Structure 1
């Protein structure tokens, strides 16, 4: 229960709030421009913010062993473009609540699999029957949220 009220849990919750706001904003931007143009502009702005942050914190960008890192760890950028695009497409069609609920179901289900199998270089954390029950309750709750 202590993990539920921990700082990492709070930070993750704030991240979820930011994701719902981001999806809504990106969707509105893509409606006023185009999906691909909005996705590009969002990522250009994100790149500039990340660059400014790296410079401000004096992060040792060039000291990392970039060439020895497994190739699949660089797929986050590709996934980011896919996520922004898919969220921007889904929100106008099914609404913020329904899209966010579907996103959460997908995230939690995949997270349990990644933890259980130790995929993508993560430490293996086998699932428990309670997690599977939790996913069932999450799915049932999602059904109640869908309009």
Structure 2
């Protein structure tokens, strides 16, 4: 089955929709409060929702050997704070569409590099000329979205 329009593709697309909505909500929340205070509250809510989910689904959190996992795999938590803060800062200045377009260009560029070199424990998937052309065309299309 083609990866395009497969279930994982649709799940990822829904994630993109959620990210655009989340960025908008966090941006307005930060404008009404303070960027760091809004980021803290959003993460506290995320912790509560995660805790309820783990308890409801009976996920055995204590059975994992957390200390044996490489330290850098925990940087997602730090990056989450950075991402929410930077998105909340950029949206009021350049708009949701422009900010989301820039985010996606950055994501795709970084993803190509991570896949190509197999960084961060990801299986190595070398890029090909079509992917590079796709990124260039994607960036050109993104330029057309900037208003």
What range is the shorter-chain TM-score in? over 0.9
What residue in structure 2 maps to residue 132 of structure 1? 132
Looking at structure 2, the residues matched to 72 and 24 of structure 1 have their Cα atoms a distance apart, in angstroms, of 29
Looking at structure 2, the residues matched to 137 and 65 of structure 1 have their Cα atoms a distance apart, in angstroms, of 44
Looking at structure 2, the residues matched to 48 and 28 of structure 1 have their Cα atoms a distance apart, in angstroms, of 21
Counterpart secondary structure, 2:4: helix
What residue in structure 1 maps to residue 109 of structure 2? 109
Gapped regions of structure 2 (runs ≥ 5): none
Looking at structure 1, the residues matched to 138 and 57 of structure 2 have their Cα atoms a distance apart, in angstroms, of 39
Looking at structure 1, the residues matched to 5 and 41 of structure 2 have their Cα atoms a distance apart, in angstroms, of 36
Q: CA deviation at 1:49?
A: 0.2
Looking at structure 1, the residues matched to 77 and 95 of structure 2 have their Cα atoms a distance apart, in angstroms, of 25
Looking at structure 1, the residues matched to 78 and 69 of structure 2 have their Cα atoms a distance apart, in angstroms, of 16
Looking at structure 2, the residues matched to 37 and 59 of structure 1 have their Cα atoms a distance apart, in angstroms, of 30
Looking at structure 1, the residues matched to 76 and 56 of structure 2 have their Cα atoms a distance apart, in angstroms, of 23
What residue in structure 1 maps to residue 39 of structure 2? 39
Kindly report which structure 2 residues correspond to 1:13-24, keeping only aligned pairs within 5 A, or say none.
Answer: 13-24=13-24
2:97 is aligned with 1:97: yes
Q: CA deviation at 1:60?
A: 1.0
Q: CA deviation at 1:11?
A: 0.1
What residue in structure 1 maps to residue 119 of structure 2? 119
Q: How many residues align?
A: 147
Q: CA deviation at 1:64?
A: 0.5
What residue in structure 2 maps to residue 88 of structure 1? 88
What residue in structure 1 maps to residue 78 of structure 2? 78
- Aligned CA-pair RMSD: 0.7
* Structure 1 moving runs of 4+ over 6 Å: none
Looking at structure 1, the residues matched to 67 and 7 of structure 2 have their Cα atoms a distance apart, in angstroms, of 33
TM-score under structure 1 normalisation?
0.99
